[in-house]
Structure 1
Amino acid sequence: MGFPVGYTEVFLPKLFVHMLWFLGFIRCLIVTLFSYLGLSDFLEPDTVWPDNRTRITPENPPVSALLIREILPVIKFEELVVVGDPPESCAVCLYEFEGGEEIRWLRNCRHVFHRACLDRWMDHDQKTCPLCRTPFVPDELQDEFNQRLWSASGVGDLHSEYVSVPGL
C-alpha cells in the first residue's frame, strides 16, 4: 500500500497556472501604478476589518447575564494591576488591549477580556470563563446571586401567590 506519489484528480495544466500567475502580476502592476499616481481611491480596497469591535446587544439578554454584569467590574485596561505580565490580547476577539479600553477582569480566574466581548459571551447564556470554564460568580457571592436570580425570574412571586392563597 503506501501513500500515493501524485494526485491524478488534481490536474492543472501548466498553461492555466502560468495564466493565473500572469493575471496576478498584472493586478499588482496596476495597483502599484494607481498608488503611485494617487488614484488608489478608484481601486477596490482590500479586506478592511472594522475598528469598532462592539456589536449591538440583544434586546432581551438573559437575566443571569444582567446580574453577572453587576458583579463583574468594568475598568480601563491602563488601570489593571496584575502580578506578572499583563495579558496582551483578548482571547475572544484576539485584538490587543489598549490603554483606554473597557475590560472585565474575572475575579475567580483572573482572566481579562474586552467588555463587549465578554458581554456578548454572557448574552448567549454563558456563565463561565471562555478560557478555563471557571464560573463568573465567586463562591462567596453565589448564594446572593442565586437568590437575586430566583427573585428576578418571577418564580418567587408566583410562589408567594400560592402560599398566600387561603384554603390551599
Structure 2
Amino acid sequence: MRAAISAIAEKGAAGVRMSDIAARAGMSTGHILYHFGKKDRLLLEVLVWSEADLGSRYQQAADQAASPAEKLALFVRFYLPRHQGDERYALWTQVLAQHHDDEGRHLLTELSDVWEERLEAVLLEGRASGRFADVDTAEFTIRAVAMLNGLSGDIMFGRPRWLHASADAFALAALERELRPPARP
C-alpha cells in the first residue's frame, strides 16, 4: 500500500501503472495482479487503507483535543486536502471516476459515512456541553460535508484564492457561525 501511495504521489492516480507499483514494492506485476485483479481494484483498496490511516491519525489528535471546538478544527484540517495535488485526494478523485460494482459502491459509501459520523460525534459533544447551538445534526452534517467537498475541489484544482487564504480557516469560520450558541439574555 505504501508503494502504491508513493507511486501515485509521483505519477498521479491516472498515470500510475501496475508495474510502477510492483517495482516500488519489490514484487512482480503478476503478484500484484494476483492479489488485486486490476488497477481499479488496487486503487480502491489503497484508498481504504489510506482512509484508515488518516482516520487513525485524526482520532489520535481528537482524543488529545481539549474541547469540541478544537475537535471541529481538527476535523476540518484532516478532511481538506493539504495542497494542490494532495495524493489522498488525487486518489479519491481517481477512484470516484471509476465505474464500481455494488461492493465498490458500498466501500466508498462506508468511507464517506465514517467522516460524517466523526463530524456528528463532534457536534453532539459540543451541543451536550453547551458550546454548540442545537442544530439538526443530520442536516448540518450534509451541508458541512458538501461545503468541504467543494473546497476540496477548489484546492485540488489550484484555485488561486486559496494560494493566499486558508481554506481551513474559511471552512471553520463558516461552520462555527452556524454552531454559535444563541446569546444568553
| TM-score of the pair, normalised by structure 2 | 0.20
| TM-score of the pair, normalised by structure 1 | 0.21
Q: Look at both structures and tell me which one has the larger radius of gyration over its CA atoms.
A: 1
Q: Which is richer in strand?
A: 1
